[in-house]
Amino acid sequence: MAQCAESCSSIDLNGQLRKERRVAIITGITGQDGSYLAEFLLEKGYEVHGIVRRSSSFNTGRIEHLYKNPQTHTEGRKDGSCNGYMKLHYGDLTDSTCLVKIINEVKPTEIYNLGAQSHVKISFDLAEYTADVDGVGTLRLLDAIKTCGLTDSVRFYQASTSELYGKVQEIPQKETTPFYPRSPYGAAKLYAYWIVVNFREAYNLFAVNGILFNHESPRRGANFVTRKISRSVAKIHLGQLDCFSLGNLDSKRDWGHAKDYVEVDVFRACCIVGGPSWARGEGRVVWQRGAARAGLPRFEIGQVSCVRTGGRAAIPVPEGIFDLDQVSGSLRPRNPRPAPTRADQFLPRTRHPPDPPARGE
């Protein structure tokens, strides 16, 4: 396994072929961003190790196509090349012992911390859990790197969030905009942001924060607004639902495509470009009310009354949009994918019949 990773090659700045070991650990590999990142790294010849939580139900639907052996969660190419090797490990950001064990066993060259309880509304209901996973969980990962003696050899990427800006101090937001989180999720991510900065300065660890604005795709979680809209519209089309409720339809968000974000993140995390922390957005606003309505005609649902608001958020949410003018050309996607903003654009995961009702319903 290690020999496979070490056989990967790349071109240095002088155009010379060089061999380097490229082994990545991804937390949150079963999520939207983690699955796209795993695909991208495997295509680049990485040895990929994903950390997954133990669950009574399978939660690997987004990455099942990446491995052939369901018993060991591994895949290897028939030609024996290093491309395409992936292995999953049971672990949790709340368990420092398992993190030390996995990192010491794998000895990664890169760690991408994408795992989190990332739903803002749910973070108010699970505030302590969100803080433990999103905030202290990041500390556990960083401390595990130090415990394993890998501070000089590992590059660490922390998936941060535009929720750090919260009560925005300026529109659009820049990398220099002051932080003002307004949710337990944002507050936990703020701690994670600064503990990454602390470890970088105290231990000379290559550690970076990527402040990402909203990014969507057909792999978005079902409890987020875009997928909630698409699933509900599909059920209406099938005659299984009359209407559906949403939260604050007046909120405006900067939406991009998750696949673009992942590819830029890898570029920033693997190359010393710019500062140790950066923000990433598309600089374009999507009105959630418009997104909810846009998919209805495609399904021949003409009545806008099929969409009703479930009430405004307890805390007003200002407009979140990124100032794209500050992004250097090398970090802009050359051909950015349009962000999915209509229900029909989520069809790859919505076309199948909705989940059957639970017993007794």
Active-site amino acid positions: 161, 163, 185
What does the alpha-carbon distance between residue 358 and residue 361 come to, in Å, rounded to a whole number?
6
Q: How far is Cα 309 from Cα 244, in angstroms, rounded to an integer?
A: 8
**What does residue 65 show for φ and ψ, rounded to 5 degrees?**
-75, -10
Q: Nearest 5°: CA angle at 117, between 113 and 119?
A: 125
Tokens of 344: 């029909």
Q: In the numeric block, which tokens belong to residue 74?
A: 């591994």
Local structure of residue 132 (DSSP, 8 states) = I
- Looking at residue 199, its amino acid is F
Give the contacts of 74 (CB within 8 A, at least 6 positions apart).
Answer: 67, 68, 85, 86, 87
Q: In sequence order, what are the residues at sequence separation of 6 or more whose Cβ sits closer than 8 angstroms to the Cβ of residue 125?
A: none
Q: Distance (Å, rounded) from C-alpha 49 to C-alpha 99?
A: 12
- What is the rounded distance in angstroms from the CA atom of residue 39 to the CA atom of residue 65? 10
d(CA 80, CA 78): 5
The span from the CA of 29 to the CA of 88, in Å, is 9
For residue 209, give the nearest of 300, 113, 297, 285 by alpha carbon. Answer: 113
The angle subtended at Cα 36 by Cα 41 and Cα 163, nearest 5°, is 115
